[in-house]
């Protein structure tokens, strides 16, 4: 289980210390963190807690949301991303996950929004690289294109990432977001060849989707994604880093955290490893 990483959002019913303790008690090496609980607990305190538990942070979620038509708002968002980069460095991860942002309110110009993402990454990339952090552009499933992330495919993520050094910008391969893409495997190979894969994340695609679709992610094995095939593709492309389990699911959130962690570890062995 040396690559398994519990993304703390999967067990948001747990406090940050509980998630860290449980991960360490389970013999895990990694944990994936989110900014809000880290800020709440304190960035330096979190770093100390993680280190004391013998864990490493696989990624920090999340920066991004770079799409806005207002200049003041844009500067505010870029400042917040710089803080996110600082926080990633402080908790000891070199991966800051970026969710690009959707269409600015009241607009329909998807190409324009995509240009805003490029421009924001261009402004942040050197700052990240100087602090040993890589901006990890995560393509989100096209059903999130309008309201969360105008970057909908690995190909798009790589088109942006490759304009910057691999030490500054990479991509996330999240099985949930890319499994449907007929071009996914070719793009994973491309990403690996350029040392752009910063993270492989797993959960499963389950239907029917719930209202709002955000919390429709399923436990590995409950859906249709070829999780092992995608993992092997990432491996073949040269990625040997942590594999994060990131699930947003109301039923799992209502269960005791330890049950969810145990189940996730079992399903990881069965469907991913």
Residues that bind its own copies (CB under 8 A): 103, 107-110, 114, 141-143, 145-147, 152-153, 155-156, 179-182, 205, 207-213, 223-226
98 class by beta-carbon count within 10 Å (0-12 exposed, 13-18 middle, 19+ buried) = buried
Closest approach of Cβ 241 to its own copies, in Å? Answer: 24
| Nearest alpha carbon to residue 59 among 124, 134, 129 | 134
The residue among 96 and 154 lying less far from its own copies, judged by its C-beta, is: 154
DSSP 8-state class, residue 193: H
Q: How far apart are CA 218 and CA 215, in angstroms?
A: 9
| Nearest alpha carbon to residue 13 among 271, 273, 226, 249 | 249
Q: Which residues contact 130 (CB under 8 A, 6 or more apart)?
A: none
Packing angle, helices 43-52 and 71-91, rounded to 10: 30
What distance lies between CA 147 and its chain's CA centroid?
Answer: 17
Closest approach of Cβ 231 to its own copies, in Å? Answer: 14
The residue among 182 and 240 lying less far from its own copies, judged by its C-beta, is: 182
Q: Give the side-chain half-sphere CA count within 13 A for 163.
A: 16
Closest approach of Cβ 145 to its own copies, in Å? Answer: 4
The residue among 35 and 271 lying less far from its own copies, judged by its C-beta, is: 271
Closest approach of Cβ 66 to its own copies, in Å? Answer: 16
Closest approach of Cβ 210 to its own copies, in Å? Answer: 6
Closest approach of Cβ 115 to its own copies, in Å? Answer: 12
List C-alpha distances in Å: 51 to 12, 42, 97, 123, 211: 21, 14, 21, 31, 39
The residue among 33 and 154 lying less far from its own copies, judged by its C-beta, is: 154
DSSP 8-state class, residue 142: G
Both tokens assigned to 44 = 């330096």
The residue among 48 and 213 lying less far from its own copies, judged by its C-beta, is: 213
Which ranges of 58-199 does DSSP label H, i.e. alpha helix?
A: 71-91, 110-130, 154-161, 175-178, 184-193
The residue among 147 and 162 lying less far from its own copies, judged by its C-beta, is: 147
The residue among 39 and 146 lying less far from its own copies, judged by its C-beta, is: 146
Closest approach of Cβ 177 to its own copies, in Å? Answer: 9
Closest approach of Cβ 228 to its own copies, in Å? Answer: 10
Would strands 204-205 and 217-218 be described as parallel, antiparallel, or unpaired?
Answer: antiparallel
Q: How far apart are CA 39 and CA 22, in angstroms?
A: 20
The residue among 136 and 152 lying less far from its own copies, judged by its C-beta, is: 152
């Amino acid at each position: 289980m040396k690559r398994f990483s519990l993304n703390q959002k999967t067990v948001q019913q747990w406090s940050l210390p509980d998630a860290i303790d449980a991960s360490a008690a389970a013999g895990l090496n990694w944990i994936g963190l989110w900014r809000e609980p880290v800020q709440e607990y304190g960035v330096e305190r979190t770093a100390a807690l993680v280190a004391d538990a013998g864990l490493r942070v696989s990624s920090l979620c999340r920066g991004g949301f770079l799409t806005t038509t207002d200049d003041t708002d844009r500067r505010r968002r870029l400042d917040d991303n710089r803080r996110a980069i600082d926080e990633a460095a402080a908790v000891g991860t070199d991966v800051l996950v970026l969710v690009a942002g959707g269409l600015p309110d009241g607009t329909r110009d998807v190409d324009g929004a995509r240009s805003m993402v490029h421009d924001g990454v261009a402004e942040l990339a050197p700052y990240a690289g100087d602090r040993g952090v890589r901006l990890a552009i995560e393509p989100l499933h096209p059903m999130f294109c309008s309201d969360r992330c105008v970057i909908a495919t690995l190909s798009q993520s790589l088109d942006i990432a490759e304009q910057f050094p691999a030490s500054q910008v990479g991509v996330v391969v999240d099985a949930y977001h890319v499994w449907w893409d007929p071009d996914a495997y070719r793009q994973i190979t491309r990403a690996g060849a350029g040392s752009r894969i910063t993270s492989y994340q797993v959960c499963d695609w389950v239907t029917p989707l719930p209202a709002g679709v955000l919390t429709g992610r399923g436990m590995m094995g409950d859906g249709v994604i070829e999780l092992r095939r995608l993992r092997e593709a990432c491996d073949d492309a040269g990625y040997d880093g942590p594999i994060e389990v990131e699930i947003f699911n109301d039923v799992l959130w209502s269960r005791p955290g330890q049950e969810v962690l145990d189940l996730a570890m079992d399903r990881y062995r069965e469907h991913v490893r």
